[in-house]
Amino acid sequence: MLLGQLLAQYEEALIAVGEEAESLSFVYRALKNWTFTDFVLALQKKVEAEDQALLQSIFEQLKHHVPAQYIIGSAEFCGHFFTVDERVLIPRPETEELVSLILEENDEEVLRVIDIGTGSGAIAISLALARSSWQVQASDVSEDALALAQDNAQQLEAVVSFKTSDVLDELEGPYDLIVSNPPYISHDDVEEVGANVLASEPHLALFADRDGYAIYEKIALQAPSVLTPDGKIYLEIGYKQGKKVKELFQKVFPNKRVRVLKDQFGQDRMVVVDNGSIEKELEAGRAVVLPTETVYGLFAKALDEEAVDQVYALKQRPREKAMNLNISSEDDIRFYSKNQPPYLSKLIASFFPGPLTIILEANEEVPAWINSGMATVGFRMPAHPKTLELIRKTGPLIGPSANLSGKASGTQCQQILKELGHGVLGFEDDSFLTGQDSTIIDLSGDKVKILRQGTITREDILAKIPEIPFEEV
């Protein structure tokens, strides 16, 4: 019988028991150490008795739901081949994405890393090979898994230390990075697990109590005592667990950013806990909390419609209420306005940066999502040096008060971040703020109107610019 004919028979039988037909040729090629070309050429050749026996052996194992990688004895992960057997889970492509993310976001020369529930050691060893200067430790509750992981580290010449531990029970830290792909399948979701996974891979590494959240809860409980102040946590999660795991870690780390990230298939797959970067958050189109000189503002890139939408949503602000442009220079004001009064430069020189908002006629450069299609637009130049520097770097920002619409403006950063409750980053400087409102004046008409009386008074303005034509009161 030709090889192609025999394979077709076996493949049909595998499909009948719910296994993938391609697994047979995958394993056969691997054990024969054939290239794909070798395999194609052999398909039209008669099968020798030795190969018939090999194919029969492979088929029997696959039929009884033994994973292909266990039959081969190895699995590729991040460009390296790891020995795998029934002691450990087979590394998945989704976990490669977790490793890639860690390497992409962390280029520091020296970091102390712990991989919780290391299994085959795939994550820890891959990180150690990619970052030889990192101090990588790996733990597992299973001594059998650790023994295999140590063998893999030795074979791949990776410098990793190993320790038996239930999560962080036996680990002291401190750690700059905590990484884990823990057991996360609920016992109620057994039907979602493939037959070969359920039959062969270790259940200790698959299932977790408390609907699959038990290990995440324990990591969240223990991590604060071993994580450095700037430390980060990277977790693989089940596709249904993003919201709850994010909430769990946001509660434990209220001052950190918690992100849920999707895998290549569009499923929630990773949760990351870190301090974030205000500048990177702004560039990525996300809102941040920054101090002005009066109260905190909820800032985002003004020319990014989605970022502006996020601010409206976070504040629950009606869309008809326009946003101001926070700018860093007079040039910005002139670029986004028209029919400027002759005293504008003097006004700016006297009161900017500071607690003053000026209203001018908007020109065609102002996006409708900023001023809600109105004929005017407001300008503000905050006095806080950090905020002003970010505006210079990133361009005009919107920055309404950092509070829910209709509530009092906030002067306590931590309270604001807690109320927003969406993992929004903030720069804290409560002591800089006065808590007093800024003054808003309308320069778009023949007469200047005070729309909101704040810190700066009419008398203050007239003392500097006596020619300003205020509306009679």
Q: What's the chain's average pLDDT? A: 91
Residue 448: phi and psi, rounded to 5, are -80, 130
Instruction: Give the pLDDT score at 63.
Output: 87
Give me the pLDDT at residue 207, please: 62
Residue type at 58 in one-letter notation: I
19: CB partners within 8 A, 6+ apart: 62, 63, 65, 195, 196
- Which residues, 6 or more positions from 93, have their beta carbon under 8 angstroms from its beta carbon? 264
Q: Say what the pLDDT of residue 423 is.
A: 65
- What are the domain boundaries of the chain? 3-64, 74-276, 279-464
The pLDDT of residue 277 is: 81
Cis peptide bond N-terminal to 353, omega within 30: yes
Q: Of 311-320, 400-409, 423-432, 439-448, where does the model show the most confidence?
A: 439-448
The answer to which of 11-25, 201-215, 426-440 has the lowest mean pLDDT is 201-215
Of 181, 106, 76, residue with least CA distance to 138: 181
**What is the arithmetic mean of pLDDT over 36-54?**
91
Looking at the whole model, is its pTM more than 0.85?
no
Note the pLDDT tens digit of each residue in 233-273: 999 999 889 999 999 998 898 778 888 898 888 889 999 99
Domain 74-276 belongs to what architecture? 3-Layer(aba) Sandwich (3.40)
Tens digit of each residue's pLDDT (9 = 90 or more) over 124-152: 999 999 999 999 999 999 999 999 999 99
Fold of the CATH domain 279-464: DHBP synthase (3.90.870)
Identify the pLDDT of residue 294: 94
By CB neighbour count within 10 A (0-12 exposed, 13-18 middle, 19+ buried), where does 366 fall?
Answer: buried
The mean pLDDT value for 296-317 works out to 95
Handedness of CA 23, 26, 29, 33 (dihedral sign): negative
184, 158 in Cβ contact below 8 A?
Answer: no
Max mean pLDDT range (18-22, 45-49, 202-206, 299-303): 299-303
Q: Residue 350 burial by CB count (10 A; 0-12/13-18/19+): exposed, middle or buried? A: middle
* Structure confidence at residue 156 as a pLDDT band (50, 70, 90): very high
160-164 and 135-140 strand pairing: parallel
Query: What is the per-residue pLDDT for 195?
Result: 60
How far apart, in whole angstroms, are the C-alpha atoms of residue 182 and residue 381?
48
193 pLDDT band, cuts 50/70/90, is low
Confidence of residue 280 (pLDDT cuts 50, 70, 90): confident
Percentage, residues of the chain above pLDDT 70: 95
